[in-house]
Amino acid sequence: MARVQLIAGNWKMNLDRAAAVALAKAVVEQAASVSGVELAVCPPFVYLDCVGKVVAGSAVALGAQNMYHQPNGAYTGEVSASMLCDLGCKYVILGHSERRHILGETDQQINKKVHAALAAGLSPIVCVGETLEEREAGRTLAVIREQFEGSLAGLSAEQMQKVVIAYEPVWAIGTGKVATPQQAQEVHGELRKLLAERYNHQLAEAVRIQYGGSVKPENAAELLQQPDIDGALVGGASLKADQFMGIVAGAKF
């Protein structure tokens, strides 16, 4: 079964309401002529509602950048999975490296969020990736395995099929230093091997694994043509509709 590539824009903590709506409109407009690729935009929580209204009924899906694992209650400042569903979200990014490294999220916390997201009907985009120090110490695959095992613990095969994994080497995020297609492919291949070991070959072939980290229109095609790269999680370049759509143009389908 061929995997449909997913190109998702992680807008991070950027834009204001007017700019978010304008960007969503431009992406929706340009996406109308795209087929065979899935698109998503992930605005900050406070713009999910207005951006959701723009993308509703279009080829562009809505995603959030985080959530809390509890369904409701006294958790000041947090947002639940059902609240995201209420706003029309299909995806939620979990365990992004900025949340792991700046906000101190652990694999255990991320795992709770993954389970809660799936229980609510969301598809989690679960991020893994090594730091530069870890890569230079030759620990890349060990770190990926540890994050895979921790963040994705306890999932049935049926649940795993709804998960998207995003490989985002920390040293490539926002730095302009993109992983080479070979470096990315090696880790994507390893992740697929881990899936096959834990589940089976068929499931491993069905799960989508995105690459993220300084993806731009100029380097997208080469990355997206790799056999185990099934899309991109795009930061900076997703803030400009033309650049985002330039990346989409590099997708294979």
Count of chain residues binding ligand 13P (CB under 6 A): 14
124 touching ligand 13P, by CB under 6 A = no
Q: Is 241 helix (H, G, I), strand (E, B) or coil?
A: helix
Question: Which of 140-148, 166-174, 180-188, 221-229 is the region at the interface with ligand 13P (rule: CB under 6 A)?
Answer: 166-174
- Contacting ligand 13P (CB under 6 A), which of 81, 143, 152, 173? 173
DSSP code for 207: S
Give the integer Cα–Cα distance in Å for 132 and 34. 36
235 touching ligand 13P, by CB under 6 A = yes
Q: Is 101 a catalytic residue?
A: no
- Name the residue type at position 190: E
- Contacting ligand 13P (CB under 6 A), which of 63, 124, 213, 231? 213
In order of 8, 95, 99, 173, 213, the CA distances from 105 in angstroms are: 22, 7, 6, 17, 19
Cβ nearer to ligand 13P, comparing 83 with 232 = 232
168 touching ligand 13P, by CB under 6 A = yes
214 touching ligand 13P, by CB under 6 A = yes
Place of tokens 């049935």: 156
Q: Is 168 a catalytic residue?
A: yes
Q: Is 59 exposed, middle or buried (0-12, 13-18, 19+ CB in 10 A)?
A: middle
Give the integer Cα–Cα distance in Å for 194 and 70. 29
**Smallest distance, Å, CB 169 to ligand 13P?**
10
> In this structure, what token pair is assigned to residue 184?
């990315």
231 touching ligand 13P, by CB under 6 A = no
Q: List the one residue out of 89, 94, 156, 74 whose CA is nearest residue 120.
A: 89
234 touching ligand 13P, by CB under 6 A = yes
Cβ nearer to ligand 13P, comparing 80 with 214 = 214
Q: Which residues bind ligand 13P (CB under 6 A)?
A: 10, 96, 168, 173-174, 212-215, 233-237
Q: Which residues are known to be catalytic?
A: 96, 168
